[in-house]
Structure 1
Amino acid sequence: MGKAVLHYTNGRGRAEKIRWMLAACGIDFDESFISTKADFQRRVAEGLYLFKQVPLLEIDGLRIVQTGSILRYLGHKGGLMGENDTERALVDMYTEGIQDMSIPGLAYAFKPDKAQFWLESKETLGTKYFSVYENILQTTNNGHLVGNKQTMADVLLFESFVHYLHIDKDVLNDYPNLQKFMASQKEIPWVQKFLQPGTNRKPFPDEKYVAMVTEIFFS
Structure 2
Amino acid sequence: MPTYKLMYFNVRGRAEATRMIFALAGQDYEDYRFKEGEWPEIKGNTELFPLGQCPVLLIDGKAMPHSKAINQHLAREFGLYGANSAEAAQIDIVGETVIDIVAKILPVAYEKDEKKKKELLDDFMDKSSKPFLPYLNNLIETAGGRFFVGNSETLVDIVVYCLLDFIFPMVESAKETYPALAKFYQSLTDNSRLTDYLKNRPPVSK
Using structure 1 for the length normalisation, give the TM-score: 0.79
The 3-state SS of whatever aligns with 1:51 is coil
Report the alpha carbon displacement of residue 132 of structure 1 after superposing the two structures with TM. Answer: 0.4
CA distance in 2, matches of 1:133, 1:119: 19
Deviates more, 1:93-102 or 1:157-166: 93-102
Flag the 1:117–1:35 CA change in 2: closer, same or farther, 3 A. Answer: farther
Q: Which residue of 2 aligns with 1:202?
A: 204
CA contact (8 A) 2:81 2:154 kept: yes
Q: Which residue of 2 aligns with 1:120?
A: 123
Report the alpha carbon displacement of residue 88 of structure 1 after superposing the two structures with TM. Answer: 0.8
CA distance in 2, matches of 1:40, 1:66: 18
- Greater RCO between the two (CA within 8 Å, min separation 6)? 1
CA distance in 1, matches of 2:60, 2:128: 37
CA distance in 1, matches of 2:46, 2:89: 37
Q: Which residue of 1 aligns with 2:90?
A: 90
Using structure 2 for the length normalisation, give the TM-score: 0.84
Q: Which residue of 2 aligns with 1:177?
A: 180
CA distance in 2, matches of 1:188, 1:62: 36
CA distance in 2, matches of 1:60, 1:125: 42
CA distance in 2, matches of 1:135, 1:69: 27
CA distance in 1, matches of 2:25, 2:203: 15
Q: Which residue of 1 aligns with 2:161?
A: 158
1:191 aligns with 2:182: no
CA contact (8 A) 1:102 1:160 kept: yes
Flag the 1:142–1:189 CA change in 2: closer, same or farther, 3 A. Answer: closer
CA distance in 1, matches of 2:140, 2:186: 13
The 3-state SS of whatever aligns with 1:7 is strand
Taking only the aligned residue pairs, the percentage that are identical comes to 25
CA distance in 1, matches of 2:187, 2:15: 24
Q: What is the CA deviation profile of residues 94-146 of structure 1, one whole-angstrom value per residue up to 9, with x for unaligned ones?
A: 11221332344444442112322222222335422210011112322252211
CA distance in 1, matches of 2:153, 2:24: 9
Q: Which stretches of structure 1, 4 residues or longer, exceed 3 Å deviation after superposition?
A: 103-109, 187-190
CA distance in 2, matches of 1:25, 1:107: 33
The 3-state SS of whatever aligns with 2:111 is coil
CA distance in 2, matches of 1:145, 1:67: 21
The 3-state SS of whatever aligns with 1:63 is strand
Flag the 1:175–1:157 CA change in 2: closer, same or farther, 3 A. Answer: same
Aligned length: 202
Flag the 1:202–1:21 CA change in 2: closer, same or farther, 3 A. Answer: farther
CA contact (8 A) 1:13 1:106 kept: no
The 3-state SS of whatever aligns with 1:196 is helix
Flag the 1:167–1:200 CA change in 2: closer, same or farther, 3 A. Answer: same
Flag the 1:105–1:11 CA change in 2: closer, same or farther, 3 A. Answer: farther
CA contact (8 A) 1:20 1:156 kept: no
CA distance in 2, matches of 1:100, 1:33: 29
Gaps of 5+ in 1: 205-219
The 3-state SS of whatever aligns with 1:190 is coil
Flag the 1:73–1:188 CA change in 2: closer, same or farther, 3 A. Answer: farther
